[in-house]
Amino acid sequence: MRRAVKEDPEIALAHAMLGAVHFYQGRLDLAAQELQQSVRLAPSDLGGRMWLLVLGRFLGDDEEGARATRKFIESEPLFWPARYPPRGITP
């Protein structure tokens, strides 16, 4: 992923997947940066948006998580992972 981003920093999917790797490594600040970059580059891409939602939920920001969940469901009503609300977040 790093190589792909280095060769072409405009590839949103590479930023999203690099953000996911950082997330699993526990490097949450780097994950947030990469995921935000992914969403900036491709606002309608489901991958980056979903990982950013996962990160927000993981960090426990329930208000922001609920807002992001509602926004995600409005734009992609059939994308079922956005409907899975951990910790009592109601869409």
- How do residues 48-91 score in pLDDT, each as one tens digit? 888 888 888 788 776 766 777 777 788 888 877 776 755 544 44
Q: Cα separation of 82 and 52, whole Å?
A: 11
Q: What is the pLDDT of residue 89?
A: 45
Residue 37: closest CA among 22, 19, 23, 53: 19
Give how far the C-alpha of residue 43 lies from the chain's centroid of Cα atoms, to the nearest Å: 11
Give the predicted TM-score (pTM) of the model. 0.77
Contact partners, residue 45, CB within 8 Å, separation at least 6:
12, 13, 16, 38, 39
Domain boundaries, the chain: 2-88
Q: What is the pLDDT of residue 86?
A: 55
- How do residues 9-50 score in pLDDT, each as one tens digit? 999 999 999 999 999 999 999 999 999 999 999 988 888 888
Q: What is the pLDDT of residue 13?
A: 93
What CATH number should be reported for the domain whose range is 2-88? 1.25.40.10
